[in-house]
Amino acid sequence: MGEVAYVSGRVLTKSGQPLRNGYVEIWQTDSNGSYLHSGGRNTGGYDSNFQGYGRFVTDSKGQYFFRTIKPVEYTLQGAFRCPHIHFAISKSGQRLIATQMLIQGHPANERDGIVKSNRAKGEMLESCDGGF
């Protein structure tokens, strides 16, 4: 269930070179705001057909591609979250970065406690350009 979304991009090294054979992993809630694991289930139920997780090995240009659903806002264990997809990039078994992709300009971004906290610290969260 949910609106189908395609997420793609490129992973580059600090020097701007494509990261070949890197792992891009994503995870997110289903359209009910529930994560796949039992500690992340909302009282509204969950979509047993939603995988909630994906992994892609980057090509020679550092490219990746996922078919998923458009993320939704939700409240879990009393914490409100704006729509987002978690990303982790690894190479040769080493985690290089973990971050979250937000929907640029989404009104719920301003209500999200993690977003507000990171902005107050001067940290940046990644956001997509509204391509969902």
What residues are annotated to the active site?
A: 35, 74, 81, 84, 86
Which H or E element spans position 119?
helix 113-120
Within 8 A by CB and 6+ apart from 83, the residues are 70, 71, 72, 73, 102, 103, 106, 108
Q: Is residue 31 within 8 Å of 2, Cβ to Cβ?
A: yes
